[in-house]
Structure 1
């Protein structure tokens, strides 16, 4: 039983009767108790309710979704209730509570808006139903289990870079005329020699049939394999501004997946720390983005030290053909966690890009020199940056390409690395 604010106000009025007589107070109190009993007796029984939750459609991070509860009143009295659909705070449920009136034998739907602030699966708590009587003095209240979840997809903020990258991809593929010779491995066409062309591209047989020198042009080969290897361990939980490093990797993965799908390449995914968290076989065409989003959405950073050898072994198990492996990890801890040996193994069989979103706070801390405390902090930041630079040098000596950029342009730089390799005929 729940007592209402109206009852409290009426009880406060009854206190004033104490100045008149004690008997009046007792009579007034008895009337209030009788009112409570009558109100509870006339309120609808919550046990007669049947609740059903409609499945919520997936939404992108920060976009608005909706969850709908259907109330079916199987009792004999009209339900006058206040309903609270309790979600985890990161689901962004509003309003906090809603009134609902359901006549006997009828149904009503109650919608709650959801604006999630975190990616992944958001789950409900219990639904609290407070059935009020017609006098508004007291109410029945129960919590009911109505399971539900909302899948929150990555925001894919890097899609703003997609038109620019697609334009460059068309240039590389020869759909847009550019004054350069493609360096791919698939024959495209013959054209007249111009100064600056590689003499090795001269087609002597075609030249013999023509009055001019003729060269072969090439285009990047399609149906190449791209493997996205994502470190979901402790380092991926580091905050870069308002988001963890893992979210920057997911955003870059979606942009790269969209480009590769348009280029006709096949995309696979492996995400791991001490265990494999997600695995996606080679996909191509229109299947890439939906499958990639579905695999990436549930990923969360795990507060464990990643086993890079496990991640490398999963990549090697996933593809046997020479492929482009984009390894998303942190350079700050690479020397301590075994990333370098794993990169060496992968670089021996595949083209490897190691991508790491850098923390802008390091540059700010390294520049602060106003007092002795700031100087010590700056020295620590400089030491971290120096270790990061040393790791980058070692990775490049192993033959890996390194992308080290701030989170705001990280996805764009990763896409550029893919396009550069494609333009150079390395894929």
Structure 2
């Protein structure tokens, strides 16, 4: 049972009657109080049962972080009495649902649509916490209330801010396929066509048989091979939980992975995706049907950083189990010196002997800002600590390169385009 403001006001009037009971007598007071209670009980009895309402859902099931989605609940009244009251469609606080509650009036045998707007502030799945229906009696003094379940899930996808870089990177890829530097054959290039020699062409590209059949010198042209295999591995271990700016390191890595997935797909390469810490958290195999970016986005949405150390031995074993064919393995992780020296580095030769490895990490620009501070004694101490962190990061990057891996280390604003540039450069060099 619930009471309304009217019942409270009526109770206050009864209290006033008690206060002056010495003048009007106790009998009148008891009658007044009893009348209030009777009216409340009667109103509850006359209120339409909210338990008998029938709820159905409609609306969006996914949106990108930063956007809004609309979800509706249809309240059906199968009874022979009108329902008057209010309704509240409850969602987790991070969904920022609005409005919170609203009046409800459903005639017998009819339905009313209640629409809620969600503006989530975090990735993942948001599930409805229930629909609270309040039915008030004809006097408006009291009523009944019940929370009914109307399950619905809205998935908030990564925002993919870096997609604004995609047109520019695609232009670079098209230039790469047509420019004369592709005349030199590399490991990752394939024969394209023949054309006349022009000064500046590499003499190794001359096709002597074709030249003998023509009046002029003819050269072969080469283009980057298509249908290459790429495996993007997202580290979801403890170090990915750290925040760089206002966003977890994991989310910055996701954004870079999405740009690379879109770019490589447009280049005709096949992209697999895997999220790993001590076990595989998500996996998407390359498929020729539909959008691979969409599938990867869906797989990323519910991922959260696990507060455990990643298992490098298990990671390498899992990567090698994906297939024997050589591929580009892109590992998005934190370039943490201790974690890499004790984990990945000892196992790097095994991995790099089978695949081309590219390690990408998101660095915190505030660390370099702290390293430049000189304003006070405290600032000097902070600068010394920050300088050591920067130095260690440079050292581990150099060690990774020495062992055959490519390294991309950039701040959140530049990590996605930098990773895309590294991929394009590998294509240009014929290494992919």
Taking structure 1 as reference, are residues 421 and 299 closer, same or farther at Cα in structure 2, changes over 3 Å only?
Answer: same
Q: TM-score, normalised by structure 2?
A: 0.92
SS at match of 1:345: helix
Residue 347 of structure 1, aligned match among 352, 356, 377 = 352
Question: 2:87 matched to 1:83?
Answer: yes
Q: Indicate the residue corresponding to 1:288 in structure 2.
A: 292
> For the Cα contact (< 8 Å) 1:182–1:220, is it kept in 2?
no
> For the Cα contact (< 8 Å) 1:264–1:284, is it kept in 2?
no
Cα distance between partner residues in 2 of 1:309 and 1:99? 59
Q: Indicate the residue corresponding to 1:181 in structure 2.
A: 182
Q: Indicate the residue corresponding to 1:195 in structure 2.
A: 199
> For the Cα contact (< 8 Å) 1:73–1:107, is it kept in 2?
yes
- Name the stretch that deviates more: 414-423 or 33-42: 33-42
Deviation at 1:216, TM superposition (A): 1.2
Query: Alpha-carbon deviations, 1:159-214, whole Å to 9, x = none?
Result: 1011111111111222xxx4533555211122233333222111112222334332
Aligned-residue Cα RMSD (Å) equals 2.0
Q: Indicate the residue corresponding to 1:309 in structure 2.
A: 313
Cα distance between partner residues in 2 of 1:337 and 1:303? 18
Q: Indicate the residue corresponding to 1:264 in structure 2.
A: 268
Q: Indicate the residue corresponding to 1:279 in structure 2.
A: 283
Query: Alpha-carbon deviations, 1:74-101, whole Å to 9, x = none?
Result: 2232111211222111122111112221
Taking structure 1 as reference, are residues 9 and 363 closer, same or farther at Cα in structure 2, changes over 3 Å only?
Answer: farther
Query: Alpha-carbon deviations, 1:115-145, whole Å to 9, x = none?
Result: 1111111122222222112222112112223
Residue 423 of structure 2, aligned match among 418, 421, 427 = 418
SS at match of 1:300: coil
Cα distance between partner residues in 1 of 2:273 and 2:379? 42
Cα distance between partner residues in 1 of 2:413 and 2:68? 24
Question: 2:391 matched to 1:386?
Answer: yes
Deviation at 1:374, TM superposition (A): 2.8
Taking structure 1 as reference, are residues 250 and 22 closer, same or farther at Cα in structure 2, changes over 3 Å only?
Answer: farther
Question: 2:376 matched to 1:371?
Answer: yes
Residue 104 of structure 1, aligned match among 108, 128, 133 = 108
Cα distance between partner residues in 2 of 1:132 and 1:101? 10
Q: Indicate the residue corresponding to 2:9 in structure 1.
A: 9
Q: TM-score, normalised by structure 1?
A: 0.93
Taking structure 1 as reference, are residues 264 and 283 closer, same or farther at Cα in structure 2, changes over 3 Å only?
Answer: same
Deviation at 1:227, TM superposition (A): 0.5
Q: Indicate the residue corresponding to 1:215 in structure 2.
A: 219
In structure 1, runs of 5+ residues without a counterpart are none
- Name the stretch that deviates more: 19-28 or 58-67: 19-28
Cα distance between partner residues in 1 of 2:25 and 2:127? 53
Cα distance between partner residues in 2 of 1:233 and 1:388? 19
